[in-house]
Structure 1
């Protein structure tokens, strides 16, 4: 039996945490959801996560701060940002900083699938 790659979702929006993992599992991955960057860092799943789907704006540590902390720890997990902010400038900045993708909420299943496949295939 082939081991499924772990995708971790970090988003303060409960509806995202409830629905996105199910969709990710349907795409053939394992999925865990966390309500904050701090919860993810404390989870013990950081090293096992093969792709991080990360909300840009959250209370406490935001998405960009989490990526900075992971880099400080020497962890280079591919990141797909998700955000309600429809700014093309923000998207371009995140991509320039190394994100695999930046999806604007609401995004389609196809957009998410394409981003996940890009994240796991490029590593």
Structure 2
């Protein structure tokens, strides 16, 4: 009887854009423990400057980034053809932020994030 070999499916790639180092580390840890690969960026500008954007399963952005706010960065990513699910993390989002997120097909999660809220939201979005 021959043994069947399976090629492991790579873990979904999450692009995380968060300027706060402690939040970035906590989210990276939580997402990695939950089985995701995480590519971390401190700002949207640096990622937008790359010639080739990675192909993530999901984009997670803090809205209150220095320079380009998360919703504006997401609009730019969409213009560049990044159509993956997206989550905008923010505190007390204003109506215009909610409208921008809806227009861009992004989900808003409000800080503080509790328990496994972010990984659960990503899994839900990836499931379709």
Band of TM-score, shorter chain = 0.7 to 0.9
Aligned CA distance change for structure 1 residues 65 and 87 (closer, same or farther; 3 Å): closer
Instruction: Pick one of 118, 121, 126 that aligns with 1:115.
Output: 121
User: How far does residue 63 in structure 1 lie from its aligned partner after superposition?
Assistant: 0.8
Q: 2:45 is matched with which residue?
A: 38
Q: RMSD of aligned C-alpha atoms?
A: 2.0
Q: 1:17 is matched with which residue?
A: 24
Q: Does 1:81 align with 2:77?
A: no
Aligned CA distance change for structure 1 residues 41 and 55 (closer, same or farther; 3 Å): same
TM-score of the pair, normalised by structure 2: 0.81
Give the number of equivalent residue pairs.
120
Bigger-Rg structure (1/2) = 2
Unaligned runs of 5+ in 1: none
**Equivalent position SS for 1:23:** helix
| 1:2-44 CA distance string (max 9 Å, x none) | 2111001101111111111111011111012110001222456
2:58–2:84: 8 Å Cα contact kept in structure 1?
A: yes
Q: Does 1:51 align with 2:54?
A: no
TM-score of the pair, normalised by structure 1: 0.84
